[in-house]
Amino acid sequence: MKPGLWLVLAAGLVLAACGRTPETAKPPLYTAGQATAPDQITFLLPGALTTADIFGPANDWNSARHLVIEYRLPGMRGEPLSPPLDILRAATQVAAYANRYPRARINLLGYSTGAAIAIEAAGRITDSQRVRVVAISSATPFPGAALALARGIVGVAGTALREGTLDRQTVWDEYFITLYLGSGWRQSSEKRAIADAIRRSFEGRINTPGDGRGRSQSASLLAWTLSPEALASTARITFFHGENDPVFPLPQVRRLAARLNAPVCVLPEDGHMVLLSRPDLMERVKRVIADQASPCG
């Protein structure tokens, strides 16, 4: 296969199995907050090719009593690509940080791959009843990532054929529209118009999976299954998921949520990028973690 075509098919969802690597010396957890004895700690756990910026206003929740912690994936914001992300190692790092504050309320906001980290971390935090998890566009356990890989290859290859190019950035920019709007958007004149606006709005701002980022950030999902700790957790979990998510389809997420006794708040007509397509979503999340609203109200 030509190198250019391989890079295109990689497209963030092409995952390669890899063995465990040594523990990174410094957990990739960062904060601009100054709270030394917080009542509340919020962890922002992004998905592949994204940073904590995806959570928008949540980055500004820091206060004298509220500490916001950013998790950085390999290859993002100066983090090295190696060691690659390991879901359980990341969950253990998050839980270890949270356990330093046994009296604080813990909020785990996870997007896509980050949702898997959040679910696993919840079961490793002491007194998990103090933990709130919001899983947005959540990844699903095995074979979820393998199926996502297959769909991603087909989707990106189709995009390359339609665009008539193997240029990685061009193809990924166009496939981003499918991630944003969901499958089948080309059949709707209204969504085609939205797609044009998205192209203009995100021009030059979309990260590609090249340089090993896609593999380093996503390979661990291939073998992820719910651990006994995750299944035994008493944390309150809420899922927000797009009805037309092309990466992790809604039926798979419903099955995951049922195993965790958690509600699924369905976002009609949305795809995988719901934090971008739903500007009001973080306000809903804030009310949920503050126990100010029913999960899907």
61 or 296, greater pLDDT = 61
Supply the pLDDT for residue 183.
76
CA distance 74 to 85: 7
**Residue extents of the structural domains in the chain:** 3-11+144-214, 29-142+226-289
Q: Which of 255, 216, 231, 238 is nearest to 87 (CA)?
A: 216
| Residue 22 pLDDT greater than 90, yes or no | no
- If you ran DSSP here, which 8-state letter would residue 55 be given? G
CA 40 to chain centre: 22
Supply the pLDDT for residue 168.
79
206 CB burial (10 A radius; 0-12, 13-18, 19+): middle
Cβ atoms of residues 124 and 92 within 8 Å: yes
| Structure-token pair, residue 173 | 């920019």
Condensed to tens digits (0 to 9), the pLDDT of residues 168-220 reads 788 878 888 888 888 777 888 888 888 888 888 888 877 777 778 888 998 99
From the candidate CATH numbers 3.20.20.370, 3.40.50.1820, 1.20.210.10, 3.40.50.300, the one assigned to the domain spanning 29-142+226-289: 3.40.50.1820
CA distance 219 to 13: 9
Mean pLDDT of 84-97: 98
